[in-house]
Chain A
Amino acid sequence: MEIRVQSDPFDFGRECAAFGAGRQDIGAIVTFCGIVRGQDQGQLHQMEIEHYPGMTERALTQIAQDAQRRWALSDCLIIHRYGPLAPGEKIMMVATASAHRADAFAAADFLMDYLKSRAPFWKKETRADGSDWVAAKASDEAALTRW
């Protein structure tokens, strides 16, 4: 299990290639990558991600450990960036590995749902008319009841 919280970009392709490489017990890998959407209610100039150093790592570790208790995961990776990001930049990724695909799919879905509303990150979007903090969606909170 690996958790990385960083301001630097990450190479999604290289992370995917390295994840689970050389292991004989893995039969399935699921990956997800979140990207800054440039066009959504007008052109976005920048997205700033604020986080709570210390709690972020702790919360992500707890979420990943919870996933490992619920599903038979061979491995799990979470990378999440903070700081200013431009449209098209990769914000975060998760990767899950398991012997059979159902566990990897379900765990990746679970990680994303929990990451959205239980990891201390906040997004601020800047457009031509100013900056606004992204409000949490009721649907994101409701998604947690699925698990």
Chain B
Amino acid sequence: MTLEILYFAWLRERIGVPRETVETNAATVADLVAELSAREDRYALAFSDLSALRVALDQELAEFAAPLAGVREVAFFPPMTGG
């Protein structure tokens, strides 16, 4: 499947791009993270502590164990600091 992946805040800076399109067969978010981390060091470093990160699937907050079936947009970011 084709996924649009978005990165925000320090994660965007560490990975070096705000978004990218990825072809993957990952079943869950955690599988996708493992796949990206295996690709290049900058991903492995950025994703080294998942407890410091949040994920949204099609613009809804989700868990790293969530399945990717039917998902088009995945966003990774640090905990939000609005207000």
Contact = CB atoms under 8 A, between A and B. Distances in A.
Do these two chains really belong together in a complex? yes
B75 interface: yes
Contacts of B81: 116-117, 121-123, 133-136, 140
A107 to B, nearest CB: 15
Interface residues of A, number: 27
B77 A120 contact: yes
Contact of B9 (A34, A112, A133): A133
B70 interface: no
B56 A121 contact: no
A116 B82 contact: yes
Contact of B56 (A55, A117, A124): A55
A52 B61 contact: no
Given A52-B56, A92-B83, A116-B83, A133 B10 contact: yes
A136 B79 contact: yes
Given A54-B59, A120-B77, A122-B77, A115 B83 contact: yes
B64 interface: no
Chain A, interface SS category: mixed
B82 A50 contact: no
Nearest to A63: B82
Interface in A109-147: 112, 115-124, 133-136, 140-141
Interface string A1-43: 0000000000000000000000000000000001000000000
B78 interface: yes
Interface in B34-83: 56, 59-61, 75, 77-83
A117 B80 contact: yes
Residue of B6, B59, B61, B82 most packed against chain A (CB within 10 A): B82
A91 B83 CA distance: 7
A-B pairs, top 10 by smallest CB distance, nearest first, are: A136-B79, A121-B82, A122-B9, A55-B59, A116-B83, A119-B82, A133-B10, A115-B83, A134-B81, A115-B82
Given A50-B12, A117-B80, 9 more contacts: A34-B83, A52-B56, A52-B75, A55-B75, A117-B79, A119-B82, A120-B8, A122-B8, A136-B78
Interface of B: 6, 8-10, 12, 56, 59-61, 75, 77-83
